Amino acid sequence: MKITMELQDISKNYGTVTALESVNLQVLEGEVLSLLGPNGSGKTTLLKIMAGIEKPNNGEVRFDSVKIHENNMSQMRLKTTMVFQKAVLFNTSVHENIAYGIRLRGLSKKETDERVKKALKTVRLEGYEKRQAKKLSGGEQQRVALARALALDTNMLLLDEPTANIDPKNVSIIEDVLSWVNKEKKTTMVIATHNIFQAETLATRAALLLEGRIIKVGTPQEIFMLPSKLLANYTRLENVFTGMSRISEEGTSIIDIGEGVHIEAASQKIGSVSAYVRPEDIILSVQPLISSARNTFEGRIKEITDLGSIVELRVKAGREFTVQITKRSFNEMQLNLNSKVFLAFKASAVQIV
């Protein structure tokens, strides 16, 4: 398969901070490549170098087999575009936001209007042309930012956490749009994410990053089949477990994840698997839970992290689970380190790879 972009021994420093160190990576034509890793792992910096926004301190970038330098950087920028995690929109109409980049490329008003209309239809925002972009919801603003990128019709699309901190409805729409654009237009995509389920859903390959280094490149399934301790240590991805799965009499999967802990999943799979549970899908209580959830555990809080309106808890319940609750709930339950708590999550919340 043709290589669209190749990074060779890329390093990037910001003063004494090393953001990337000796990164080697190939992006294949027409693929969706996921950059998978925690915040601070170097994903955004790598995307900016691929977009020509940042320059590496060492190493070289090749686009369509041509080495990129000062004299031809603008040509690469015409063929790539980046969508940032937080949509940066002008204080004007949706139409003007999307049209801006097209006009910079010298297209006619007719062509510009046609591209804007087509892009809005793609992201399911038909009829939003005259609305004020900054008055839209966060998810809708992100879809406008995506439409702006799609309207440029570039060879490569670079996306930095495109669905972070937006509601499930808009997440679903954006994921559907990206999947459609890749399949129908064969657009090459690189998506930075810390969501392993999203990577498994959208990507054909994934690169695992930690502290500026690529740990492994492979299919999402190959990444997820790494030992759970390795995933926890290298990516700090929450609630990823490996174990042996068997089918229960009720047709669900029972997965032995070690330490005497078994979790039940709605889908059926036999043998060695990786299972993932989103922290926000786990219910936490200080009293035993009366629930239809198939997975219930008792444990104690071992770590508390304040994330603003959200509090992240690490709970030891045989295995360690990460749970996210609102700060209000945290205060109402009067939780503290070593507090005894009860966890519950549905079998349908367990994703199996």
Q: How would you write the pLDDT of the chain (353 residues) with one tens digit per residue?
A: 899 999 999 999 999 999 999 999 999 999 999 998 877 889 999 999 999 999 999 999 999 999 998 888 888 888 999 999 888 899 999 999 999 999 988 899 999 999 999 999 999 999 999 999 999 988 899 999 999 999 999 999 999 999 887 777 888 899 999 999 999 999 999 999 877 777 878 899 999 988 899 988 998 878 776 655 556 554 446 788 889 999 999 899 999 999 999 999 998 889 988 888 888 889 999 998 887 888 999 999 999 998 777 898 999 999 999 998 999 999 999 999 999 999 999 998 898 87
State the Cα–Cα distance between residues 20 and 57, nearest whole angstrom: 9
CATH of span 3-224: 3.40.50.300
- Equal CATH topology for 3-224 and 238-352: no
Rounded to whole angstroms, the Cα distance separating 334 from 271 reads 41
Considering only CA atoms, which of 153, 132, 152 is closest in space to residue 141? Answer: 132
Q: According to CATH, what is the number of the domain 238-352?
A: 2.40.50.100
19: which residues sit within 8 A by CB, 6+ positions away?
A: 12, 13, 42, 45, 212
Q: What are the domain boundaries of the chain?
A: 3-224, 238-352
Give the pLDDT score at 235: 46
CA 210 to CA 110: how far, in whole Å?
A: 46
Nearest Cα neighbor of 82 from 13, 176, 171, 152 is 152
Structure pTM? 0.71
Q: Of the candidates 80, 87, 31, which has an alpha carbon nearest to the alpha carbon of residue 217?
A: 31
